[in-house]
A = this chain, B = another copy of it.
Amino acid sequence: MADIISVKSQSRTHFVNITSSVSEHLPKNFSGVCNLFCQHTTAALTINENADPDVVRDVDQHLEQLIPWRNPEYQHMEGNSAAHIKSSLLGPSLTVPVENGKMLLGTWQSIYFCEFDGPRSRKVTIQLCPSL
């Protein structure tokens, strides 16, 4: 059965580090793939640097530059087309390798929930598939 991770974003765009929440769902003896899935169309999942908070700030800001919140071309009435576009660009699913209950992330990698139309309460599903 899929587990659920709950995320509360605090602003319109907000990159929330969920690495430790994901880790809590990994049994010590599990080796395989951790499948993460974002159940929202105005948010996404990504992996990026955790050491300097300016890295995800720069990712967030540059996405804003490429996909501005206001654009006379957008036709979706709700006014949040930018969030939907960013959601498709970063994507809803990630697959992370796990060995003996520990994710094989690189030294600087953390997993981020990317809010693009917050603040909101959000959900990420987590499933574990054994590997050979």
Residue positions of A touching B, CB distance < 8 A: 1-2, 27, 30-33, 35, 37, 39-41, 46-49, 52, 54-55, 57-59, 61-63, 65-67, 71, 73-78, 81, 84-85, 87-97, 99, 104-106, 108-109, 123, 125, 127-132
Chain A binding surface, main DSSP class:
mixed
Which chain B residues border A54 with CB–CB below 8 Å? 75-77, 81
Which chain B residues border A90 with CB–CB below 8 Å? 88-89, 91
Bound Cα distance from A131 to B109, whole angstroms: 25
Q: Kindly report which residue of chain B lies nearest to residue A73, judged by CB atoms.
A: B61
Tell me whether B93 and A73 are in contact (CB under 8 A): no
Q: Kindly report which residue of chain B lies nearest to residue A131, judged by CB atoms.
A: B127
Tell me whether B2 and A37 are in contact (CB under 8 A): no
Which chain B residues border A61 with CB–CB below 8 Å? 73
Q: Kindly report which residue of chain B lies nearest to residue A64, judged by CB atoms.
A: B73
Tell me whether A93 and B96 are in contact (CB under 8 A): yes
Given A66-B66, A76-B54, A131-B127, residue A39 in contact with residue B89 (CB < 8 A): no
